[in-house]
Structure 1
Amino acid sequence: MPAVGAYLGQVLVHHLDGQWIPRDKLMENQVLVGERVWLPFIRAWHYLRSRQSLLDFSLTQAFREAERHRAPGPGNPSS
């Protein structure tokens, strides 16, 4: 599970110009995208709980939602 959370967080950082916000507990680490923070380790934990949760907590859906909250800037046109 930590590997999936780290991957999701790194994707947010790399593709959406996010910024890691470290916390004392691994599960509480955040990624700031625009003006909103995301909890990639919590999302991964929900995602891997059961077969049904694979559908309910899609990692692609999380990325698309974060993408909508990205701050407009050079190369990031507002939609």
Structure 2
Amino acid sequence: MPAIGAYLGEVMVKHLGEQWIARRKLEESQVRVSSRVWLPFVRAHKSMRSCQSLLDFSLTQFYRAAHRHCG
């Protein structure tokens, strides 16, 4: 999971021009987009739990939601 969360966070930082907010626990690290923070590691973990989770917690939908909040 850490690799997927790191990749998702880096895509958000690179394409949305935002920044990482590091935390002591890796899974609590955040990406700030405008006035909101997003948790890419938590989302990656949720999406990989089962086949149904892949549909319920889509990483693409997560990115698109963050992109909508990008100012």
Distance 1:59 1:18 in 2: 18
Query: If the length of structure 1 is used for normalisation, what is the TM-score?
Result: 0.88
Residue 27 of structure 1 aligns with which residue?
Answer: 27
Runs of 4 or more above 2 Å deviation:
none
Q: Give ranges in structure 1 of 5+ residues lacking alignment.
A: 72-79
Distance 1:38 1:8 in 2: 10
Shift of 1:43: 0.2
Identity %: 65
RMSD, aligned α-carbons:
0.5
Greater radius of gyration (CA): 1
Residue 77 of structure 1 aligns with which residue?
Answer: none
State how many pairs are aligned. 71
Q: Give ranges in structure 2 of 5+ residues lacking alignment.
A: none
Q: Which amino acid aligns with 2:67?
A: E
Query: If the length of structure 2 is used for normalisation, what is the TM-score?
Result: 0.98
